Amino acid sequence: MRALSITKWLGALLVVAAALALLYAMARRHPEDLPWTALDLSAPIGAFTGRKLAGLAEDAPRCRALLAEAGVRFVALPSHRPSPHCGYNDGVRFAPGAGDARSIAYRSADLDISCAVAAALAVWEWRVVQPAALEAFGQRVAEIEHLGSYACRRLYGASEGRWSAHATADAVDIAAFVLEDGRRISVLGGWSGDADEARFLRAARDGACDLFATTLSPDYNAAHADHLHLDQAKRGAIGWRACR
């Protein structure tokens, strides 16, 4: 009986050792797929990248440091708290022509967003949007058009009910993508239009689902017919993700 117990113990030990060896191998080849590795905005998207990006909402200094390390030029905004439900303490704005050789295509100077959203937008552009554009159109995106981020309002502009993620600059609405040759791919016109445009827009949406806590598209409802809603707002539940 004792020999049998020792055999079982040794067997379990071998299983644990094998699992640790596998994890070590994964860490060497794909560290972005492990939950405990440090987030690197320049690294490929891994299994836990979205969770790590969402966690930046709790650590603005680290978030800004990661943006700087990735080559993103930005301006840290002063705290803005006009009411208990609205405002932000971790706002940033992409600087004109921001970014390294990969660039940041959000050129509008009025895009005030939380740092966690900015970090996710950078990864989304580099790892999702640009590769999808090259595959669909053979060229890069020169500019990403948006409908804004911060707005002190409730969901859908209602007079009562839950406050929107826009009220804390934790959301951004993406309206269109302008290619290097000037061609404009809008969510409104392309979602159910040209096959290449529809494929590109869905690839952009699907990739955003891996990086943002909430991704909403025209497939969700009519209110989102002309934009992709991307947010990192907390919903009170660990691991909350919504993708439509």
Per-residue model confidence as pLDDT tens digits over 190-226: 999 999 999 999 999 999 999 999 999 999 999 999 9
d(CA 57, CA 233): 8
With H, G, I as helix, E, B as strand and everything else as coil, classify residue 114.
strand
The CA distance from 137 to 51, in Å, is: 31
Region 45-58: mean pLDDT is: 92
pLDDT value of position 232: 92
Averaged over 86-107, what is the pLDDT? 72
SS (H, E, C) 127-188: HHHHHHHHHHHCCCEEEEEECCCCCCCEHHHCCCCCECHHHHCCEEEEEEEEECCCCEEEHH
Strands 214-216, 184-186: pairing kind: unpaired
pTM: 0.85
Answer yes or no: is pLDDT of 53 > 50: yes
- 62-86 pLDDT, tens per residue? 999 999 999 888 999 999 999 999 9
Terminal-to-terminal C-alpha distance of the chain? 56
Per-residue confidence (pLDDT) for residue 238, from 0 to 100 = 46
Backbone angles phi, psi at 113, to 5 degrees: -135, 160
pLDDT in tens, 232-243: 976 544 455 789
